[in-house]
Amino acid sequence: MKKVKDEYFVLAVDKGWLEVKGDPVVMPGFEEYDLFVHCDHETLGFSYMESFAVSEGKSGFRVSKIGSREEAIEHATKLFTDHGREQVERVIGEAIEKSGLSPRWSTED
């Protein structure tokens, strides 16, 4: 797999892949993951500026949604640390299997 776009995407159940404005997140011990923080994009098509989420870039899977940018990153870091790499890999793989790969990534060489 390789990254083919710089834009970030999340998956909305009823709308498909939606591009969102995000900033990269690097978690100690999980540096190789494509994580980003963004305003939580509601299914109605607008963002609540006071609600942030951390999502994973290959699957578009939302890892954490809670209050401020800092709180969302802190919560996501705790979840990754508590659940460990094996479970994180399993959940990301299941999300990709179920919904496909984000437009940010490609399986092409």
pLDDT score recorded for residue 41? 59
pLDDT score recorded for residue 32? 95
Q: Please state, in angstroms and rounded to a whole number, the distance separating the CA atoms of residues 59 and 86.
A: 16
User: For the chain, how many structural domains are there in total?
Assistant: 1
Contacts of 68 (CB under 8 A, 6+ apart): 50, 52
pLDDT score recorded for residue 44? 45
pLDDT tens-place string over residues 16-47: 899 999 999 999 999 999 999 998 755 445 55
Q: Domain for residue 82, yes or no?
A: yes
Q: Domain for residue 72, yes or no?
A: yes
Q: Which two tokens stand for residue 1?
A: 């797999």
The residue assigned the tokens 């969302």 is 72
| 49 or 100, which is more confident | 100
- Closest to 76 in 3D by CA, of 29, 41, 44: 29
pLDDT score recorded for residue 40? 74
Domain with 71 in it: 2-104
> End-to-end CA distance of the chain, in Å?
8
Q: Domain for residue 92, yes or no?
A: yes
Report the run of H or E that residue 96 belongs to, with start and end. Answer: helix 69-99
Query: Parallel, antiparallel, or unpaired: how do β-strands 47-56 and 62-65 relate?
Result: antiparallel
Q: Domain for residue 109, yes or no?
A: no
pLDDT tens-place string over residues 45-83: 555 556 899 999 999 999 998 888 999 999 999 999 999
